[in-house]
Amino acid sequence: MSFFARLNQETRQRNLCFLVIGGLAVNLHGCSRDTADLDLMVRREEREAWTALLAGLGYTLSHDGGPFLQFDPPQAGAWPVDLMLVNEATFSAIFVAAPEVDLYGERMRIPTVEHLIALKLHALKHSHLGRFLKDFMDVQELVRINGLDVRSDSFKTLALKYGSVELYEKLVHACEHGG
């Protein structure tokens, strides 16, 4: 049984829901970029259940950053797993709109492109330079591939709510001038 099939099976048995975020979600929205881990958004109040589930799969907690947990896989070459813990209101709003996609033969949910961009903008607002460049390029590619208008009122509202004026202006420049 594949890791993704086992994850689906274990979460169904425990009545746990999740969203695939990060690089895999970016790829599933039409962009092509390398990713070496599985990023999941889960409910904050289910932290202990997720920690137990991953421990049962042989994973060890390697970093506890509060709302972000990183787990090392049981063997080399397996998927590392990162959890983003969010409150119920945030999780429910994103989950209810999330499309189901095929990921390695399994049905899983990913945020809409707008929700994924909001997550990336939030990360950009709070990230260090190395992380900033990757997330910025992700947003730029998501905009390009999905035909979003960075000057539209809806995109500007999204960018200002989750990012900043400076970040919005950088995105407009990058998207309109190719870099």
Output the pLDDT for position 8: 96
Question: What is the rounded (10 degree) CA torsion for 35, 41, 47, 53?
Answer: -60
CATH of domain 1-111: 3.30.460.40
Phi, psi of 149 (to 5 degrees): -95, 110
Prediction pTM value: 0.93
* 149/41 Cα distance (integer angstroms): 27
Show Cβ contacts of residue 127 under 8 Å, excluding neighbours closer than 6 positions: 135
* 139/105 Cα distance (integer angstroms): 26
pLDDT in tens, 14-66: 999 999 999 999 999 998 888 889 999 999 999 999 999 999 999 999 999 99
* 21/46 Cα distance (integer angstroms): 17
Output the pLDDT for position 172: 96
* 19/91 Cα distance (integer angstroms): 9
Kindly tell me if the per-residue pLDDT of 179 is higher than 90: no
pLDDT in tens, 82-104: 999 999 999 999 999 999 999 99
pLDDT in tens, 115-166: 999 999 999 988 777 788 889 999 999 999 999 999 999 999 999 999 999 9
Average pLDDT over every residue of 69-74: 96
Domain ranges of the chain: 1-111, 112-179
